[in-house]
Amino acid sequence: MERRQKIRLVRYDVPELDRHLFFNPASASIVVTDTLGASLIEAYLKGEAGDETFIESVWSRGLFEIPDDTDYGVVPNRLIIELTSACNLRCKTCYMAAATALEDELSTEEVKQLLSEAAQAGTKSVALMGGEPFLRKDIGEIVKFALARFSDVQVSTNGTIINEGFFRSLKGTSNLTIQVSLDGADPRSNDAIRGKGAFERASRLLDRAHAAGLKTAISGVLNSLNYNLVGKMCDFAYDKHARMTIFHKVHVVGRAESFPEILPSKQELMHGMGVLLNKFHEYEISGKMIVDFPHNRCFRGDRALDARYPGCHFGRAFAFVTSNGNLVCCSHLRDGEFVYGNIREGGLLEIWQSSEHLNYMRELTVDEIPSCSQCEFKYMCRASCRADAYANSGTLLGDPPDCEALKAYYRYVLDHFARNTEPTLPRSKPCSS
């Protein structure tokens, strides 16, 4: 494919001001120009000759960057393992309704074998989660094994079990991150979902991990009870020296099915997303702390994430293995057709490379999703979460439930940039930049 055909831009027009915005998700570059400039950019993309000086200045702003070519069919970049389905908490919204361990969970040796296979193949990072991973007696042994093989190891925990031996023996380990989940910004809001005492204990664990010289992160689930607290949760994370906060919207599955009111309304979702975008600017752009949400990722300009591929890049960026060894699509697409095989039979890479369904998922683009293919924001939104669309419509190609809120959000953000960004103008007009 010719290089120019790989450039994926989002265009947004404000005709009454003669302002035309172009956004490139590969570089998070924004260029605002007038009608002439817009037609020159469009002509360049079609391979036609134009105003070289203008095109060069647009180039220098990163507008024509393209995503990296990565063959994800060969090796997953990241491996996520649910070490157990057991949990000491009973969070009201837990998508996997974690409670007790499965009968056939992977043994210590099987987890090590899986880690070895991925490391040898070239997988860079691993996330260990559950259920509650600190309920596994071999958690220290597994983490040390992983640390010796991957440049980035993350343990996702509810933060309520402080294993002193773990923190003492892993003191100062630079490639380990302890990610702690919170559902609120204080004991009252958090414990309403996670149970009494969960906030104080998670807060103590963050302090303990920081005192041990480990990196920490906070994971939050945006819902109708905390959409107006996500900013405070980011502030709390920063006060606790976290390197990152990561948010997802709640999925109404598992125990959350008993709380359908937990789903944020359109207004609540937009409010939460708007606050997270402001926090992204406050903390991440200034280099203080990463603030991650699926719908602010495009503003980060990550060339590893080709904007053609939907959602979180399932089947491409990461492999997800359940506590009994099933290789599945993701934490929410984990049953039926989304089980690609069991790593006990043939190993991770054999399934990763040969599964027909996984290959189909891997090659699916936003242009093949009927409701998204004509959407002006498709390369920013990347068709939103396909697990949500599947739950909403029963098909992977279905409509996501939040589309209206997402369109309003992207329109609002681009409109703001179009009106407040200094225009880059072609030669026939005085150049202001």
Ligand X SMILES: C[S@@+](CC[C@H](N)C(=O)[O-])C[C@H]1O[C@@H](n2cnc3c(N)ncnc32)[C@H](O)[C@@H]1O
Q: Which residue is nearest to ligand X (CB)?
A: 181
Q: Give whichever of 283 and 409 is closer to ligand SF4, judged by the CB atom.
A: 409
Closest CB to ligand X among residues 178, 414: 178
Stretch that binds ligand X, among 10-18, 153-161, 382-390, 406-414 (CB under 6 A): 153-161
Q: Considering only residues 371-400, where is the footprint of ligand X by CB under 6 A?
A: none
Name the site residues for ligand SF4 (rule: CB under 6 A): 87, 89-91, 94, 98, 130-132, 158, 181, 371-372, 375, 377-378, 381, 383-384, 400, 403, 406-407
Cis ω before 131 (30° cut-off from 0): yes
Q: What does the alpha-carbon distance between residue 216 and residue 146 come to, in Å, rounded to a whole number? A: 17
The minimum distance between CB 345 and ligand X, in angstroms, equals 25
| 129 lines the binding site for ligand X (CB under 6 A) | yes
Kind of pairing, strands 176-182 and 152-157? Answer: parallel
- The verdict on 248 binding ligand X (CB under 6 A) reads yes
219 binding partner (options ligand X, ligand SF4, none; Cβ < 5 to 8 Å by kind): ligand X
Least distance from ligand SF4 to the Cβ atom of residue 305, Å: 15
Nearest to 387 by CA among 379, 397, 378, 377: 397
Least distance to ligand SF4, CB of residue 44, Å: 25
Question: Please, which residues have CB within 8 angstroms of residue 30's CB and are 6 or more apart in sequence?
Answer: 21, 22, 23, 61, 417, 421
Q: How far is the CB of 253 from ligand X (least distance, A)?
A: 6
Q: Which stretch binds ligand X (CB under 6 A): 156-164, 204-212, 235-243, 319-327?
A: 156-164
From ligand X, ligand SF4, none, which one binds at residue 205 (CB under 5 to 8 Å depending on kind)?
A: none
Tokens of 17: 């001001």
Task: Verify binding: residue 156, ligand X, rule CB under 6 A.
Answer: yes
Which residues in 179-208 contact ligand X (CB under 6 A)? 181
* Contacted by 221, from ligand X, ligand SF4, none: CB < 5 to 8 Å by type: ligand X
Q: Which residues contact 201 (CB under 8 A, 6 or more apart)?
A: 159, 160, 162
Contact positions with ligand X (CB under 6 A) in 250-269: 250-251, 256
Residues near 432 by Cβ (< 8 Å), separated by ≥ 6? 422, 423, 425
| Region of 23-31, 94-102, 232-240, 274-282 interacting with ligand X (CB under 6 A) | 94-102
Return the residue of 12, 22, 54, 95 that touches ligand X, per CB under 6 A: 95
Specify the residue, 89 or 327, whose C-beta has the smaller distance to ligand X.
89
Total number of residues that touch ligand X (CB under 6 A): 19
φ/ψ of 410, rounded to 5, equals -65, -40
Q: Does residue 20 belong to the site contacting ligand X (CB under 6 A)? A: no
Is 402 near ligand X (CB under 6 A)? Answer: no
Contact between 221 and ligand X per CB under 6 A:
yes
Nearest to 424 by CA among 43, 45, 29: 29
Question: Is the Cβ of residue 70 or residue 88 nearer to ligand SF4 in the bound state?
Answer: 88
Per CB under 6 A, residues contacting ligand X are: 87, 93-96, 129-132, 156-158, 181, 219, 221, 248, 250-251, 256
